């Protein structure tokens, strides 16, 4: 390409009767510009070679991979941890439900229950949720859920079946959990958040 340009330049300025020294100067400038561009390209190539192929290449490449994939790994691990916690909660709820321990506070009033269970660091108001339609409170007792104090409420369904509702404060441990439904030992365990509380229903 450079040779063709030289010939074209010589022919053009020869036709214009350009002084030989001027034409030579132009050719020298064209050659310098080509060398500068080539040198810049070579410098860029060498920089990449030193970065990825030189002695530190493996380290740099590993860091690039970490920066690219670390967010994906964090999100994946968060999802796995959340699912593990939900499974542990469902298992604990199912186990306590099967024990069928008697209520320490026998009442059909949520207001009376909140007054009686003064060791709880939250109030037990009547939960409003579609999963709790057709239930009547019969009593409650203290329990724990994942090491945190909770209320274990006995609910009688319109069908006559007794189900158990676990209520605890929505602490940081439970805040990241999505609504879920799992089957443990023949029981359906539903978990959700509402009004600053975390609830699990075994039925």
Half-sphere exposure for 168 (CA within 13 Å, toward CB): 20
Question: Total domain count for the chain?
Answer: 2
In a domain, 13, yes or no: yes
- Pair (97, 145) in one structural domain: yes
- Pair (190, 141) in one structural domain: yes
The mean pLDDT of the chain is: 79
Alpha helices in the chain, H assignment, sequence order: 2-15, 20-52, 57-99, 110-116, 172-175
Is-contact 155 174, C-beta < 8 A?
Answer: no
- Pair (124, 184) in one structural domain: yes
pLDDT of residue 21: 62
What is the tens place of the pLDDT at every residue in 27-68? 565 555 555 455 665 666 566 556 556 555 555 555 555 566
The Cα-based distances of 187 to 18, 96, 141 in angstroms read 99, 12, 21
Q: Which of 156, 157, 168, 163 is nearest to 193 (CA)?
A: 168
- Pair (194, 98) in one structural domain: yes
In a domain, 197, yes or no: yes
Q: Kindly report the CA angle at 170 between 106 and 136, in degrees rounded to 5?
A: 30
- Pair (109, 26) in one structural domain: no
More confident call, 122 vs 73: 122
- Pair (194, 103) in one structural domain: yes
In a domain, 116, yes or no: yes
Close Cβ partners of 184 (under 8 Å, ≥ 6 residues apart): 90, 91, 93, 94
Query: What percent of the chain has pLDDT above 70?
Result: 61
Write the CATH number for 154. 3.30.200
In a domain, 195, yes or no: yes
- Pair (103, 164) in one structural domain: yes
Instruction: Let me know how long the chain is.
Output: 203
- Provide the domain limits for residue 136: 93-202
In a domain, 82, yes or no: no
Residue with tokens 């409420």: 153
- Pair (121, 177) in one structural domain: yes
- DSSP-assigned letter for residue 189: E
- Pair (97, 177) in one structural domain: yes
Is-contact 132 162, C-beta < 8 A?
Answer: no
- Pair (99, 173) in one structural domain: yes
For residue 153, list its beta bridge partners: 140, 165
Q: What is the rounded average pLDDT of the residues 149-178?
A: 95
Q: What is the rounded average pLDDT of the residues 179-198?
A: 94
More confident call, 67 vs 164: 164
The answer, yes or no, to whether residue 188 has pLDDT greater than 90, is yes
pLDDT of residue 72: 47
Q: What is the rounded average pLDDT of the residues 6-30?
A: 56
The whole-model pTM stands at 0.61
In a domain, 80, yes or no: no
pLDDT of residue 68: 61
Distance of CA 159 to the CA centre of its chain: 40
């Amino acid at each position: 390409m450079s040779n063709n340009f030289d010939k074209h330049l010589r022919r053009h300025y020869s036709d214009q009767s350009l002084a030989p020294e001027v034409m030579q100067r132009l050719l020298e400038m064209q050659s310098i510009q080509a060398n500068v561009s080539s040198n810049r390209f070579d410098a860029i190539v060498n920089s990449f070679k030193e970065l990825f192929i030189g002695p530190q290449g493996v380290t740099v490449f590993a860091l690039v991979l970490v920066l690219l994939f670390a967010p994906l790994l964090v999100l994946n691990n968060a999802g796995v941890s959340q699912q593990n916690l939900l499974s542990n909660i469902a298992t604990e709820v199912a186990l306590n439900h099967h024990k069928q321990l008697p209520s320490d506070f026998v009442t059909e009033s949520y207001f009376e229950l909140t007054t009686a269970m003064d060791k709880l660091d939250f109030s037990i108001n009547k939960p409003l949720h579609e999963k709790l339609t057709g239930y009547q409170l019969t009593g409650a007792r203290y329990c724990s859920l994942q090491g945190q104090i909770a209320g274990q409420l006995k609910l009688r369904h319109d069908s006559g079946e007794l189900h158990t509702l676990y209520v605890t404060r929505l602490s940081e441990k439970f805040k990241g959990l999505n609504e879920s439904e799992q089957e443990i030992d023949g029981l359906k365990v539903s978990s959700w958040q509402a009004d600053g509380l975390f609830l699990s229903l075994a039925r």
